[in-house]
Amino acid sequence: MDGATLPARLRTLNRVSRIVVRDLTKSYGDLPVLEPLDLDIETGTFVSIIGPSGCGKTTLVRVLAGLEPASAGVVTLDGHPPAAARAAKRVAMVPQQPGLLPWRTVEANARLLLDVRKGTNPSDANDPVALLHEVGLGNFLHAHPHELSGGMQQRVALVRALALHAPLLVMDEPFAALDEITRAEMRGLLTRLVDGRGATVLFVTHSIAEAVALSDRVLVMSGRPAGVVADLAIDIPRPRRDDVEDDPRFVALCAEVRHALHSNGGRR
Amino acid sequence: MIRRVLAPAVGIVTVLLLWEAVVRLGEVRPFVLRAPSRIVGHLWDFRGDYTAAAWVTIQHAVVGAAIGLLVALVLGAVMAASTFVEQAAGPVLTLLQVTPFVAYIASVVLWLGSGTAPALFVVALVCVPGFAFATTDGMRGADPDTRELLASVDAHWWEVLWRLRLPSALPSIFTAMRYNVGLALIAAYLVEGGNYANEGLGAIGMRAAAFGGNGADALWAAIFAMSVLGTSWLVAISIARHLLLGWHVSQRGRTPRVRRP
Protein backbone atom coordinates (compact mmCIF):
# COMPACT_ATOMS: atom_id res chain seq x y z
CA MET A 1 0.00 0.00 0.00
CA ASP A 2 1.67 3.27 -1.04
CA GLY A 3 1.28 6.72 0.48
CA ALA A 4 -1.26 7.99 -2.01
CA THR A 5 -3.96 5.59 -0.88
CA LEU A 6 -3.27 5.87 2.83
CA PRO A 7 -5.86 8.60 3.53
CA ALA A 8 -8.57 6.55 1.87
CA ARG A 9 -7.52 3.62 3.94
CA LEU A 10 -7.64 5.56 7.20
CA ARG A 11 -11.06 6.92 6.34
CA THR A 12 -12.53 3.44 6.18
CA LEU A 13 -10.53 1.87 8.93
CA ASN A 14 -13.21 1.92 11.59
CA ARG A 15 -16.05 0.99 9.27
CA VAL A 16 -17.12 -2.59 8.87
CA SER A 17 -16.90 -3.10 5.15
CA ARG A 18 -17.77 -6.36 3.52
CA ILE A 19 -16.15 -5.64 0.20
CA VAL A 20 -12.92 -3.69 0.23
CA VAL A 21 -11.15 -2.79 -3.00
CA ARG A 22 -7.82 -0.97 -3.00
CA ASP A 23 -5.91 0.15 -6.11
CA LEU A 24 -7.53 -2.52 -8.20
CA THR A 25 -6.47 -2.61 -11.85
CA LYS A 26 -7.16 -5.13 -14.53
CA SER A 27 -5.79 -5.32 -18.03
CA TYR A 28 -5.81 -7.94 -20.73
CA GLY A 29 -2.30 -7.85 -22.15
CA ASP A 30 -1.69 -4.22 -23.12
CA LEU A 31 -5.36 -3.33 -22.94
CA PRO A 32 -6.26 -1.68 -19.64
CA VAL A 33 -9.84 -2.54 -18.64
CA LEU A 34 -10.10 -1.14 -15.12
CA GLU A 35 -8.17 1.90 -14.00
CA PRO A 36 -7.03 2.03 -10.35
CA LEU A 37 -10.15 1.60 -8.28
CA ASP A 38 -10.95 2.00 -4.58
CA LEU A 39 -14.27 0.82 -3.28
CA ASP A 40 -15.95 0.05 0.03
CA ILE A 41 -19.25 -1.76 0.09
CA GLU A 42 -20.97 -2.42 3.37
CA THR A 43 -22.70 -5.64 4.25
CA GLY A 44 -26.29 -5.84 3.14
CA THR A 45 -26.04 -3.08 0.54
CA PHE A 46 -27.68 -3.43 -2.84
CA VAL A 47 -25.20 -1.88 -5.28
CA SER A 48 -25.92 -1.43 -8.97
CA ILE A 49 -23.13 -0.93 -11.44
CA ILE A 50 -24.13 0.92 -14.57
CA GLY A 51 -22.05 2.09 -17.52
CA PRO A 52 -21.65 1.97 -21.29
CA SER A 53 -21.48 -1.37 -23.09
CA GLY A 54 -18.12 -3.09 -22.89
CA CYS A 55 -16.78 -0.68 -20.28
CA GLY A 56 -15.63 -3.40 -17.90
CA LYS A 57 -18.62 -3.78 -15.56
CA THR A 58 -18.63 -7.52 -16.04
CA THR A 59 -14.86 -7.68 -15.58
CA LEU A 60 -15.19 -5.77 -12.30
CA VAL A 61 -17.77 -8.13 -10.83
CA ARG A 62 -15.88 -11.18 -12.14
CA VAL A 63 -12.78 -9.98 -10.30
CA LEU A 64 -14.81 -9.25 -7.15
CA ALA A 65 -16.37 -12.72 -7.35
CA GLY A 66 -12.94 -14.30 -7.70
CA LEU A 67 -13.54 -15.64 -11.20
CA GLU A 68 -10.63 -13.63 -12.58
CA PRO A 69 -7.46 -12.47 -10.86
CA ALA A 70 -6.78 -8.76 -10.52
CA SER A 71 -3.74 -7.43 -12.39
CA ALA A 72 -2.77 -5.37 -9.35
CA GLY A 73 -4.33 -4.19 -6.13
CA VAL A 74 -6.23 -5.87 -3.32
CA VAL A 75 -9.78 -7.16 -3.07
CA THR A 76 -11.15 -8.67 0.13
CA LEU A 77 -14.58 -10.03 0.91
CA ASP A 78 -15.11 -10.01 4.68
CA GLY A 79 -11.35 -9.96 5.00
CA HIS A 80 -10.78 -12.95 2.69
CA PRO A 81 -9.47 -13.00 -0.86
CA PRO A 82 -12.28 -13.54 -3.43
CA ALA A 83 -10.98 -16.95 -4.51
CA ALA A 84 -11.26 -18.18 -0.91
CA ALA A 85 -14.80 -16.79 -0.63
CA ARG A 86 -15.72 -18.56 -3.86
CA ALA A 87 -14.22 -21.83 -2.63
CA ALA A 88 -16.27 -21.48 0.57
CA LYS A 89 -19.43 -21.05 -1.59
CA ARG A 90 -19.95 -17.57 -0.19
CA VAL A 91 -20.54 -16.03 -3.61
CA ALA A 92 -23.76 -16.79 -5.52
CA MET A 93 -24.05 -15.84 -9.18
CA VAL A 94 -27.00 -15.13 -11.44
CA PRO A 95 -25.74 -15.02 -15.04
CA GLN A 96 -27.25 -13.06 -17.91
CA GLN A 97 -28.68 -16.20 -19.47
CA PRO A 98 -30.41 -18.50 -16.98
CA GLY A 99 -27.90 -21.26 -17.81
CA LEU A 100 -30.32 -23.99 -16.72
CA LEU A 101 -29.38 -27.59 -17.49
CA PRO A 102 -32.01 -28.84 -19.97
CA TRP A 103 -31.87 -32.42 -18.62
CA ARG A 104 -32.59 -31.37 -15.05
CA THR A 105 -36.05 -30.63 -13.72
CA VAL A 106 -36.80 -27.18 -12.30
CA GLU A 107 -36.27 -28.51 -8.77
CA ALA A 108 -32.97 -30.21 -9.66
CA ASN A 109 -31.77 -27.06 -11.43
CA ALA A 110 -32.58 -24.98 -8.37
CA ARG A 111 -30.50 -27.46 -6.37
CA LEU A 112 -27.51 -27.47 -8.75
CA LEU A 113 -25.19 -25.23 -6.76
CA LEU A 114 -25.98 -27.19 -3.60
CA ASP A 115 -25.24 -30.50 -5.39
CA VAL A 116 -21.76 -29.37 -6.35
CA ARG A 117 -19.12 -29.82 -3.63
CA LYS A 118 -21.80 -30.78 -1.11
CA GLY A 119 -19.35 -30.80 1.79
CA THR A 120 -18.95 -27.03 1.59
CA ASN A 121 -22.67 -26.22 1.83
CA PRO A 122 -23.52 -23.76 4.60
CA SER A 123 -25.59 -25.25 7.41
CA ASP A 124 -28.18 -22.53 6.90
CA ALA A 125 -28.71 -23.17 3.16
CA ASN A 126 -32.17 -22.25 1.96
CA ASP A 127 -34.62 -24.92 0.84
CA PRO A 128 -34.88 -24.56 -2.95
CA VAL A 129 -38.38 -26.03 -2.99
CA ALA A 130 -39.68 -23.45 -0.52
CA LEU A 131 -38.03 -20.71 -2.59
CA LEU A 132 -39.57 -22.05 -5.81
CA HIS A 133 -42.98 -21.84 -4.13
CA GLU A 134 -42.12 -18.31 -3.05
CA VAL A 135 -41.39 -17.20 -6.63
CA GLY A 136 -44.58 -18.82 -7.92
CA LEU A 137 -43.06 -21.93 -9.47
CA GLY A 138 -44.55 -24.38 -6.97
CA ASN A 139 -46.49 -26.13 -9.73
CA PHE A 140 -43.44 -26.54 -11.95
CA LEU A 141 -41.06 -28.46 -9.71
CA HIS A 142 -40.96 -31.42 -12.09
CA ALA A 143 -41.12 -29.46 -15.35
CA HIS A 144 -38.06 -29.13 -17.58
CA PRO A 145 -36.59 -25.74 -18.55
CA HIS A 146 -37.89 -25.89 -22.14
CA GLU A 147 -41.43 -25.92 -20.77
CA LEU A 148 -40.92 -22.55 -19.05
CA SER A 149 -41.05 -19.00 -20.38
CA GLY A 150 -37.94 -16.81 -20.24
CA GLY A 151 -39.06 -15.02 -17.08
CA MET A 152 -39.82 -18.30 -15.33
CA GLN A 153 -36.39 -19.65 -16.29
CA GLN A 154 -34.70 -16.58 -14.83
CA ARG A 155 -36.72 -17.06 -11.64
CA VAL A 156 -35.27 -20.57 -11.36
CA ALA A 157 -31.78 -19.07 -11.82
CA LEU A 158 -32.56 -16.61 -9.02
CA VAL A 159 -33.70 -19.40 -6.70
CA ARG A 160 -30.61 -21.45 -7.58
CA ALA A 161 -28.41 -18.57 -6.37
CA LEU A 162 -30.50 -17.73 -3.29
CA ALA A 163 -30.53 -21.38 -2.17
CA LEU A 164 -26.83 -21.07 -1.34
CA HIS A 165 -27.66 -18.40 1.25
CA ALA A 166 -24.39 -16.72 0.28
CA PRO A 167 -23.55 -13.35 1.82
CA LEU A 168 -22.64 -12.01 -1.63
CA LEU A 169 -24.99 -12.17 -4.59
CA VAL A 170 -23.52 -11.24 -7.97
CA MET A 171 -25.94 -10.59 -10.82
CA ASP A 172 -24.67 -9.77 -14.28
CA GLU A 173 -27.51 -8.18 -16.23
CA PRO A 174 -29.85 -10.96 -15.18
CA PHE A 175 -32.94 -9.39 -16.73
CA ALA A 176 -31.35 -8.08 -19.93
CA ALA A 177 -32.86 -10.80 -22.12
CA LEU A 178 -36.40 -10.34 -20.78
CA ASP A 179 -39.23 -8.23 -22.18
CA GLU A 180 -40.20 -4.99 -20.42
CA ILE A 181 -43.27 -6.37 -18.65
CA THR A 182 -41.41 -9.40 -17.31
CA ARG A 183 -38.50 -7.19 -16.25
CA ALA A 184 -40.81 -5.05 -14.12
CA GLU A 185 -42.22 -8.20 -12.50
CA MET A 186 -38.73 -9.55 -11.84
CA ARG A 187 -37.68 -6.25 -10.31
CA GLY A 188 -40.50 -6.45 -7.76
CA LEU A 189 -39.75 -10.10 -7.08
CA LEU A 190 -36.05 -9.48 -6.56
CA THR A 191 -36.76 -6.62 -4.14
CA ARG A 192 -39.04 -8.87 -2.08
CA LEU A 193 -36.57 -11.77 -2.13
CA VAL A 194 -33.47 -9.80 -1.22
CA ASP A 195 -35.00 -7.40 1.33
CA GLY A 196 -34.27 -8.49 4.83
CA ARG A 197 -32.00 -11.40 3.89
CA GLY A 198 -28.93 -9.32 4.69
CA ALA A 199 -26.97 -10.28 1.60
CA THR A 200 -24.78 -7.83 -0.26
CA VAL A 201 -25.84 -7.59 -3.89
CA LEU A 202 -23.74 -6.52 -6.87
CA PHE A 203 -26.07 -5.89 -9.75
CA VAL A 204 -24.73 -5.08 -13.21
CA THR A 205 -27.29 -3.41 -15.44
CA HIS A 206 -27.85 -1.23 -18.50
CA SER A 207 -31.14 0.12 -17.23
CA ILE A 208 -31.16 3.34 -15.22
CA ALA A 209 -34.68 2.69 -13.91
CA GLU A 210 -33.71 -0.82 -12.82
CA ALA A 211 -30.63 0.46 -11.01
CA VAL A 212 -32.50 3.20 -9.15
CA ALA A 213 -35.55 1.09 -8.29
CA LEU A 214 -33.51 -1.74 -6.81
CA SER A 215 -30.43 -0.20 -5.22
CA ASP A 216 -29.14 1.49 -2.12
CA ARG A 217 -26.23 2.76 -4.13
CA VAL A 218 -25.48 3.19 -7.83
CA LEU A 219 -21.95 3.21 -9.21
CA VAL A 220 -21.71 4.90 -12.59
CA MET A 221 -18.73 3.75 -14.62
CA SER A 222 -16.92 5.45 -17.49
CA GLY A 223 -15.88 3.94 -20.79
CA ARG A 224 -12.75 1.80 -20.97
CA PRO A 225 -10.50 1.86 -19.02
CA ALA A 226 -13.34 1.95 -16.54
CA GLY A 227 -13.39 3.96 -13.36
CA VAL A 228 -16.22 4.97 -11.09
CA VAL A 229 -17.30 8.47 -12.18
CA ALA A 230 -20.25 8.80 -9.82
CA ASP A 231 -21.25 7.06 -6.62
CA LEU A 232 -24.87 7.90 -5.84
CA ALA A 233 -26.80 6.99 -2.72
CA ILE A 234 -30.39 6.04 -3.49
CA ASP A 235 -32.31 7.39 -0.52
CA ILE A 236 -35.72 6.03 -1.37
CA PRO A 237 -37.02 4.31 1.78
CA ARG A 238 -37.53 0.56 1.95
CA PRO A 239 -39.59 -1.54 1.62
CA ARG A 240 -40.09 -0.20 -1.88
CA ARG A 241 -43.48 -0.62 -3.45
CA ASP A 242 -44.06 -1.72 -7.02
CA ASP A 243 -45.14 1.84 -7.91
CA VAL A 244 -41.77 3.27 -6.82
CA GLU A 245 -41.28 4.54 -10.36
CA ASP A 246 -44.04 7.13 -9.87
CA ASP A 247 -42.17 8.60 -6.89
CA PRO A 248 -40.76 12.10 -7.72
CA ARG A 249 -37.56 11.20 -5.86
CA PHE A 250 -37.16 8.21 -8.20
CA VAL A 251 -37.51 10.44 -11.25
CA ALA A 252 -34.96 12.92 -9.87
CA LEU A 253 -32.44 10.17 -9.07
CA CYS A 254 -32.85 8.63 -12.54
CA ALA A 255 -32.05 12.05 -14.03
CA GLU A 256 -28.96 12.27 -11.83
CA VAL A 257 -27.72 8.84 -12.95
CA ARG A 258 -28.46 9.66 -16.59
CA HIS A 259 -26.53 12.91 -16.28
CA ALA A 260 -23.51 11.20 -14.72
CA LEU A 261 -23.63 8.53 -17.39
CA HIS A 262 -23.80 10.96 -20.31
CA SER A 263 -21.27 13.51 -19.09
CA ASN A 264 -18.59 10.89 -18.41
CA GLY A 265 -19.69 7.74 -20.15
CA GLY A 266 -18.03 8.45 -23.47
CA ARG A 267 -14.62 9.17 -21.97
CA ARG A 268 -11.78 7.11 -23.41
CA MET B 1 -47.64 -44.45 -32.81
CA ILE B 2 -49.23 -47.06 -35.08
CA ARG B 3 -48.17 -45.07 -38.12
CA ARG B 4 -44.58 -44.94 -36.86
CA VAL B 5 -44.42 -48.74 -36.84
CA LEU B 6 -46.61 -49.27 -39.89
CA ALA B 7 -44.83 -46.96 -42.32
CA PRO B 8 -41.38 -48.62 -42.11
CA ALA B 9 -43.02 -52.06 -42.19
CA VAL B 10 -44.85 -51.17 -45.43
CA GLY B 11 -41.56 -49.97 -46.93
CA ILE B 12 -39.68 -53.16 -46.06
CA VAL B 13 -42.45 -55.51 -47.16
CA THR B 14 -42.74 -53.67 -50.51
CA VAL B 15 -39.02 -54.07 -51.18
CA LEU B 16 -39.14 -57.78 -50.23
CA LEU B 17 -42.12 -58.37 -52.56
CA LEU B 18 -40.39 -56.58 -55.46
CA TRP B 19 -37.23 -58.56 -54.77
CA GLU B 20 -39.16 -61.86 -54.76
CA ALA B 21 -40.91 -60.87 -58.01
CA VAL B 22 -37.66 -59.93 -59.76
CA VAL B 23 -36.02 -63.25 -58.81
CA ARG B 24 -39.07 -65.34 -59.84
CA LEU B 25 -40.01 -63.55 -63.05
CA GLY B 26 -36.53 -62.75 -64.33
CA GLU B 27 -33.86 -65.36 -64.58
CA VAL B 28 -31.36 -64.28 -61.90
CA ARG B 29 -28.42 -66.49 -61.06
CA PRO B 30 -28.69 -67.71 -57.45
CA PHE B 31 -25.37 -66.23 -56.37
CA VAL B 32 -26.36 -62.79 -57.63
CA LEU B 33 -29.71 -62.71 -55.89
CA ARG B 34 -31.72 -65.22 -53.88
CA ALA B 35 -35.45 -64.90 -53.42
CA PRO B 36 -36.30 -63.73 -49.88
CA SER B 37 -38.64 -66.70 -49.40
CA ARG B 38 -35.78 -69.09 -50.09
CA ILE B 39 -33.39 -67.20 -47.78
CA VAL B 40 -35.88 -67.27 -44.93
CA GLY B 41 -36.51 -70.98 -45.57
CA HIS B 42 -32.79 -71.72 -45.36
CA LEU B 43 -32.41 -69.65 -42.19
CA TRP B 44 -35.28 -71.56 -40.61
CA ASP B 45 -33.84 -74.98 -41.59
CA PHE B 46 -30.51 -74.14 -39.94
CA ARG B 47 -31.86 -71.84 -37.25
CA GLY B 48 -29.68 -73.31 -34.50
CA ASP B 49 -26.45 -72.62 -36.42
CA TYR B 50 -27.46 -69.11 -37.47
CA THR B 51 -28.66 -68.16 -33.98
CA ALA B 52 -25.35 -69.29 -32.48
CA ALA B 53 -23.37 -67.44 -35.16
CA ALA B 54 -25.47 -64.26 -34.78
CA TRP B 55 -24.95 -64.36 -31.00
CA VAL B 56 -21.17 -64.47 -31.53
CA THR B 57 -21.28 -61.60 -34.04
CA ILE B 58 -23.48 -59.36 -31.90
CA GLN B 59 -21.12 -59.89 -28.95
CA HIS B 60 -18.10 -58.98 -31.06
CA ALA B 61 -19.79 -55.89 -32.41
CA VAL B 62 -21.48 -54.63 -29.21
CA VAL B 63 -18.64 -55.35 -26.78
CA GLY B 64 -16.08 -54.01 -29.28
CA ALA B 65 -18.10 -50.82 -29.82
CA ALA B 66 -18.50 -50.41 -26.04
CA ILE B 67 -14.73 -50.67 -25.56
CA GLY B 68 -14.25 -48.14 -28.37
CA LEU B 69 -16.78 -45.82 -26.72
CA LEU B 70 -15.03 -45.99 -23.34
CA VAL B 71 -11.64 -45.25 -24.89
CA ALA B 72 -13.17 -42.42 -26.96
CA LEU B 73 -14.91 -40.87 -23.92
CA VAL B 74 -11.61 -40.56 -22.08
CA LEU B 75 -9.75 -39.40 -25.18
CA GLY B 76 -12.54 -37.01 -26.20
CA ALA B 77 -12.74 -35.47 -22.71
CA VAL B 78 -8.98 -34.87 -22.68
CA MET B 79 -9.16 -33.44 -26.21
CA ALA B 80 -11.97 -31.10 -25.14
CA ALA B 81 -9.89 -29.93 -22.19
CA SER B 82 -6.61 -29.48 -24.04
CA THR B 83 -6.20 -27.93 -27.47
CA PHE B 84 -2.70 -29.39 -27.64
CA VAL B 85 -3.94 -32.95 -27.18
CA GLU B 86 -6.72 -32.28 -29.68
CA GLN B 87 -4.25 -31.06 -32.28
CA ALA B 88 -1.95 -34.00 -31.57
CA ALA B 89 -4.62 -36.71 -31.62
CA GLY B 90 -6.87 -35.26 -34.33
CA PRO B 91 -4.76 -36.21 -37.38
CA VAL B 92 -4.08 -39.69 -35.99
CA LEU B 93 -7.79 -40.28 -35.49
CA THR B 94 -8.55 -38.97 -38.97
CA LEU B 95 -5.93 -41.30 -40.41
CA LEU B 96 -7.53 -44.19 -38.54
CA GLN B 97 -10.92 -43.17 -39.87
CA VAL B 98 -9.93 -43.04 -43.55
CA THR B 99 -7.66 -46.11 -43.66
CA PRO B 100 -9.66 -49.09 -44.97
CA PHE B 101 -9.52 -51.49 -42.04
CA VAL B 102 -10.03 -54.47 -44.36
CA ALA B 103 -6.40 -53.93 -45.32
CA TYR B 104 -4.92 -54.61 -41.90
CA ILE B 105 -7.30 -57.25 -40.55
CA ALA B 106 -4.94 -60.06 -41.57
CA SER B 107 -2.09 -58.39 -39.66
CA VAL B 108 -4.23 -57.99 -36.54
CA VAL B 109 -5.24 -61.67 -36.70
CA LEU B 110 -1.58 -62.68 -37.04
CA TRP B 111 -0.76 -60.48 -34.04
CA LEU B 112 -3.66 -61.31 -31.69
CA GLY B 113 -4.45 -64.81 -32.91
CA SER B 114 -7.84 -66.20 -33.86
CA GLY B 115 -11.18 -65.80 -32.13
CA THR B 116 -12.57 -62.99 -30.07
CA ALA B 117 -9.50 -60.84 -29.39
CA PRO B 118 -8.84 -59.56 -32.96
CA ALA B 119 -12.58 -59.01 -33.52
CA LEU B 120 -12.95 -56.86 -30.41
CA PHE B 121 -9.74 -54.99 -31.21
CA VAL B 122 -10.68 -54.05 -34.77
CA VAL B 123 -14.28 -53.18 -33.88
CA ALA B 124 -13.12 -50.96 -31.01
CA LEU B 125 -10.48 -49.33 -33.19
CA VAL B 126 -12.85 -48.39 -36.01
CA CYS B 127 -15.38 -46.96 -33.52
CA VAL B 128 -12.93 -44.71 -31.66
CA PRO B 129 -12.56 -41.77 -34.11
CA GLY B 130 -16.29 -41.11 -34.55
CA PHE B 131 -17.00 -41.39 -30.84
CA ALA B 132 -13.97 -39.27 -29.87
CA PHE B 133 -14.78 -36.41 -32.25
CA ALA B 134 -18.42 -36.46 -31.13
CA THR B 135 -17.38 -36.38 -27.46
CA THR B 136 -15.01 -33.46 -28.00
CA ASP B 137 -17.51 -31.43 -29.99
CA GLY B 138 -20.32 -32.08 -27.53
CA MET B 139 -18.24 -31.25 -24.48
CA ARG B 140 -16.88 -28.09 -26.10
CA GLY B 141 -20.45 -27.03 -26.78
CA ALA B 142 -21.42 -27.08 -23.10
CA ASP B 143 -23.20 -23.84 -22.16
CA PRO B 144 -20.57 -21.20 -21.20
CA ASP B 145 -22.92 -19.54 -18.69
CA THR B 146 -23.34 -22.81 -16.85
CA ARG B 147 -19.58 -23.42 -16.89
CA GLU B 148 -19.09 -19.98 -15.33
CA LEU B 149 -21.78 -20.77 -12.79
CA LEU B 150 -20.09 -24.01 -11.76
CA ALA B 151 -16.77 -22.15 -11.57
CA SER B 152 -18.39 -19.64 -9.20
CA VAL B 153 -18.76 -22.38 -6.59
CA ASP B 154 -15.37 -23.88 -7.42
CA ALA B 155 -16.79 -27.16 -8.76
CA HIS B 156 -14.23 -29.97 -9.12
CA TRP B 157 -13.23 -30.81 -12.69
CA TRP B 158 -14.93 -34.20 -12.43
CA GLU B 159 -18.14 -32.57 -11.25
CA VAL B 160 -18.11 -30.30 -14.30
CA LEU B 161 -17.42 -33.35 -16.45
CA TRP B 162 -20.18 -35.47 -14.94
CA ARG B 163 -22.85 -32.82 -14.37
CA LEU B 164 -22.32 -30.63 -17.43
CA ARG B 165 -19.90 -31.82 -20.12
CA LEU B 166 -20.90 -35.46 -20.44
CA PRO B 167 -24.66 -34.82 -20.66
CA SER B 168 -23.94 -32.01 -23.14
CA ALA B 169 -22.05 -34.50 -25.33
CA LEU B 170 -24.76 -37.19 -25.26
CA PRO B 171 -26.71 -35.96 -28.33
CA SER B 172 -23.63 -35.97 -30.58
CA ILE B 173 -22.45 -39.31 -29.12
CA PHE B 174 -25.80 -40.84 -30.04
CA THR B 175 -25.48 -39.51 -33.58
CA ALA B 176 -21.99 -41.04 -33.86
CA MET B 177 -23.38 -44.30 -32.51
CA ARG B 178 -25.82 -44.60 -35.42
CA TYR B 179 -22.91 -44.51 -37.86
CA ASN B 180 -20.73 -46.75 -35.76
CA VAL B 181 -23.38 -49.52 -35.69
CA GLY B 182 -22.76 -50.19 -39.37
CA LEU B 183 -19.00 -49.93 -39.02
CA ALA B 184 -18.89 -52.22 -35.99
CA LEU B 185 -20.97 -54.93 -37.68
CA ILE B 186 -18.92 -54.82 -40.88
CA ALA B 187 -15.67 -54.98 -38.90
CA ALA B 188 -16.92 -57.93 -36.82
CA TYR B 189 -18.09 -59.74 -39.99
CA LEU B 190 -14.79 -59.26 -41.80
CA VAL B 191 -12.60 -60.29 -38.85
CA GLU B 192 -14.73 -63.39 -38.27
CA GLY B 193 -14.34 -64.31 -41.92
CA GLY B 194 -10.63 -63.61 -41.86
CA ASN B 195 -9.52 -65.89 -39.02
CA TYR B 196 -9.54 -69.60 -38.22
CA ALA B 197 -11.95 -69.61 -35.29
CA ASN B 198 -14.85 -70.34 -37.67
CA GLU B 199 -17.33 -68.52 -35.46
CA GLY B 200 -19.89 -65.84 -36.22
CA LEU B 201 -21.90 -64.80 -39.26
CA GLY B 202 -18.77 -63.52 -40.95
CA ALA B 203 -17.23 -66.98 -40.91
CA ILE B 204 -20.36 -68.43 -42.56
CA GLY B 205 -20.83 -65.64 -45.08
CA MET B 206 -17.24 -65.24 -46.21
CA ARG B 207 -16.60 -68.95 -46.53
CA ALA B 208 -19.89 -69.35 -48.46
CA ALA B 209 -18.86 -66.54 -50.81
CA ALA B 210 -15.68 -68.46 -51.58
CA PHE B 211 -17.79 -71.44 -52.77
CA GLY B 212 -19.50 -69.44 -55.53
CA GLY B 213 -22.94 -70.70 -56.59
CA ASN B 214 -22.92 -73.58 -54.10
CA GLY B 215 -22.60 -71.20 -51.18
CA ALA B 216 -25.36 -68.85 -52.30
CA ASP B 217 -27.90 -70.01 -49.69
CA ALA B 218 -25.48 -69.55 -46.79
CA LEU B 219 -24.13 -66.26 -48.16
CA TRP B 220 -27.56 -64.69 -48.50
CA ALA B 221 -28.68 -66.08 -45.15
CA ALA B 222 -25.66 -64.44 -43.49
CA ILE B 223 -26.41 -61.14 -45.25
CA PHE B 224 -30.03 -61.34 -44.11
CA ALA B 225 -29.04 -62.13 -40.54
CA MET B 226 -26.53 -59.24 -40.49
CA SER B 227 -29.17 -56.77 -41.61
CA VAL B 228 -31.57 -58.03 -38.94
CA LEU B 229 -28.85 -57.55 -36.30
CA GLY B 230 -28.09 -54.04 -37.52
CA THR B 231 -31.74 -53.03 -37.58
CA SER B 232 -32.42 -54.40 -34.09
CA TRP B 233 -29.39 -52.58 -32.75
CA LEU B 234 -30.48 -49.29 -34.30
CA VAL B 235 -33.97 -49.73 -32.85
CA ALA B 236 -32.43 -50.33 -29.40
CA ILE B 237 -30.37 -47.14 -29.81
CA SER B 238 -33.45 -45.16 -30.82
CA ILE B 239 -35.25 -46.33 -27.70
CA ALA B 240 -32.27 -45.52 -25.46
CA ARG B 241 -31.96 -42.12 -27.11
CA HIS B 242 -35.62 -41.43 -26.52
CA LEU B 243 -35.32 -42.38 -22.85
CA LEU B 244 -32.06 -40.54 -22.17
CA LEU B 245 -32.52 -37.46 -24.33
CA GLY B 246 -36.15 -36.60 -23.68
CA TRP B 247 -34.92 -33.11 -22.74
CA HIS B 248 -33.12 -32.52 -26.03
CA VAL B 249 -34.57 -30.37 -28.82
CA SER B 250 -34.23 -33.23 -31.33
CA GLN B 251 -36.53 -35.45 -29.27
CA ARG B 252 -39.36 -32.95 -28.87
CA GLY B 253 -42.33 -32.54 -31.14
CA ARG B 254 -42.54 -29.62 -33.55
CA THR B 255 -44.74 -27.52 -31.31
CA PRO B 256 -43.16 -26.18 -28.11
CA ARG B 257 -44.94 -27.34 -25.00
CA VAL B 258 -44.94 -24.16 -22.97
CA ARG B 259 -46.96 -24.48 -19.81
CA ARG B 260 -48.45 -21.38 -18.31
CA PRO B 261 -49.25 -20.87 -14.65
Give the pLDDT confidence of A194-239 residue by residue, as tens digits: 887 788 999 999 899 999 999 999 999 887 777 888 899 998 888 8
Helical spans, DSSP H, in chain B: 2-25, 36-45, 47-81, 83-98, 102-112, 116-140, 144-152, 157-160, 166-193, 201-210, 216-244
ipTM: 0.83
pLDDT tens, per residue, chain B with 261 residues:
677 778 888 998 999 999 888 888 887 776 677 888 889 999 999 999 999 999 999 999 999 999 999 999 999 999 998 999 999 999 999 999 999 988 888 899 889 988 899 999 999 999 999 999 999 999 999 988 899 899 999 999 999 999 999 999 999 999 999 999 999 999 999 999 988 778 899 999 988 888 877 788 899 999 999 999 999 999 999 999 988 888 887 766 555 555 554
Q: Would strands A72-77 and A19-28 be described as parallel, antiparallel, or unpaired?
A: antiparallel
Find chain B residues with C-beta within 8 A of A99's C-beta: 143, 145-146, 148-149
A191: number of Cβ within 10 Å? 18
pTM of the model: 0.81
Nearest neighbour of B154 by CB, restricted to A86, A100, A149: A86
Parse chain A into domains and list their residue ranges: 92-165
Q: Give the separation between CA B114 and CA B187, rounded to whole angstroms.
A: 15
- Chain B residue with minimum CA distance to A100: B146
Q: Which of B150, B154, B258 is the best mutation test for A, with the most CBs of A within 10 A?
A: B154
Query: Is the minimum CB–CB distance between A164 and chain B shorter than 8 Å?
Result: yes
pLDDT tens track for B149-185: 999 999 999 999 999 999 999 999 999 999 999 999 9
Nearest neighbour of A147 by CB, restricted to B156, B163, B258: B258
Query: Is the minimum CB–CB distance between A158 and chain B shorter than 8 Å?
Result: no
CA B107 to chain centre: 23
Nearest neighbour of A116 by CB, restricted to B153, B256, B257: B153
The alpha carbon of residue B254 is apart from the nearest alpha carbon of chain A, in Å, by: 13
Which DSSP string do the residues of A63-104 spell out, in sequence order?
HHTTSS--SEEEEEETTB-HHHHHHTT-EEEE-SS----TTS
The alpha carbon of residue B146 is apart from the nearest alpha carbon of chain A, in Å, by: 5
Q: Give the separation between CA A97 and CA B118, rounded to whole angstroms.
A: 50
Alpha carbon separation from B166 to A114, B135, B148, B155, B159 (Å, rounded): 19, 8, 16, 15, 10
Q: Is B153 in contact with A102 (Cβ distance < 8 A)? A: no
Q: Which CATH number fits domain B48-244: 1.10.3720.10, 2.60.40.10, 3.90.180.10, 3.40.50.970?
A: 1.10.3720.10
- Chain B residue with minimum CA distance to A144: B247
Q: Which of B146, B150, B152 is the best mutation test for A, with the most CBs of A within 10 A?
A: B152
